[in-house]
Amino acid sequence: MKFFIDTANLDQIKEAQDLGVLDGVTTNPSLMAKEGITGEENIIAHYKKICDIVTGDVSAEVIATDFEGMIKEGEALAKLHERIVVKVPMIKEGVKAIKYFSDKGIRTNCTLVFSAGQALLAAKAGATYVSPFIGRLDDISTDGLNLIAEIRLIYDNYGFQTEILAASVRHTMHVIDCAKIGADVMTGPLSSIEGLLKHPLTDIGLAKFLEDYKKGN
Ligand code: E4P
């Protein structure tokens, strides 16, 4: 399972990269705005900084919602760095754009996916990644993990190569449950990755080992 970090915060991206388990980064316009990165030039410069930190895929989202606009933006984003994956929303024009990019060999991440039908369309269009937002489904009392399971079944039935990128992951149990179902990738905050480290028995055990070591020396 690949681990992506879902942030535009460079310190957190570096911290996750330094841990040695990071496979990529996802961003979106809201995450950029949260870091105070606004305006096309600054956003482009920020993507380049992210690409310089990580060794994996970096999703960069188009803002246009019409086909022509998405193509223009996506092609420019893809040229920025070989790690860039063009993030395209699951709308009619987006599906056409994903098909276009796929035919051109430009990798895509189909975002804002909330149903199995949308995921099926994204795969048919040739998306590299599909991003079902599990946390946002949970927020409206709908089982986000069940959507991951449905998509896994459908993709396996037909051998679709599109990778299931469980997005809107909020905590460590989301990560573990997605791993059990067989999501190819998860993207979440640094806390969802670092949370996997924690167990009180590890801390108690280590304290005891160190204490006993000191007794014998
Ligand atoms: C995915 O690529 C999105 O950036 C993201 O996971 C959204 O998550 P949120 O629901 O926590 O905003």
In tens, the pLDDT along 57-97 reads: 999 999 999 999 999 999 999 999 999 999 999 999 999 99
Which residue's alpha carbon is nearest to atom 7 within ligand 1? 168
136 lines ligand 1 (CB under 6 A): yes
Could you give the 3-state DSSP secondary structure of residue 3? Answer: strand
69 lines ligand 1 (CB under 6 A): no
192 lines ligand 1 (CB under 6 A): no
Of ligand 1's listed atoms, the one at least distance from the Cα of 170 is 11
Could you give the 3-state DSSP secondary structure of residue 1? Answer: coil
Question: Sign (positive/negative) of CA torsion 145, 116, 4, 34?
Answer: negative
6 lines ligand 1 (CB under 6 A): yes
For the segment 118-128, what is each residue's pLDDT rounded down to a tens digit? 999 999 999 99
Q: What is the per-residue pLDDT for 54?
A: 96
Which residue's alpha carbon is nearest to atom 1 within ligand 1? 167
- Look up the CATH number of domain 2-215: 3.20.20.70
pLDDT band at 217; cut points 50, 70, 90: confident
167 C-alpha to ligand 1 centroid (Å): 6
d(CA 202, CA 161): 38
Residues ≥6 apart with Cβ < 8 Å to 204: none
Of ligand 1's listed atoms, the one at least distance from the Cα of 4 is 2
103 C-alpha to ligand 1 centroid (Å): 27
Q: What is the per-residue pLDDT for 137?
A: 98
d(CA 111, CA 119): 10
Report yes or no: 58 and 24 within 8 Å, Cβ to Cβ: yes
Q: Is the ipTM of this complex over 0.95?
A: yes
Q: What is the per-residue pLDDT for 76?
A: 97
Domain coordinates in residue numbering, the chain: 2-215
Partnered with residue 59 across adjacent β-strands are: 26, 85
Of ligand 1's listed atoms, the one at least distance from the Cα of 59 is 2
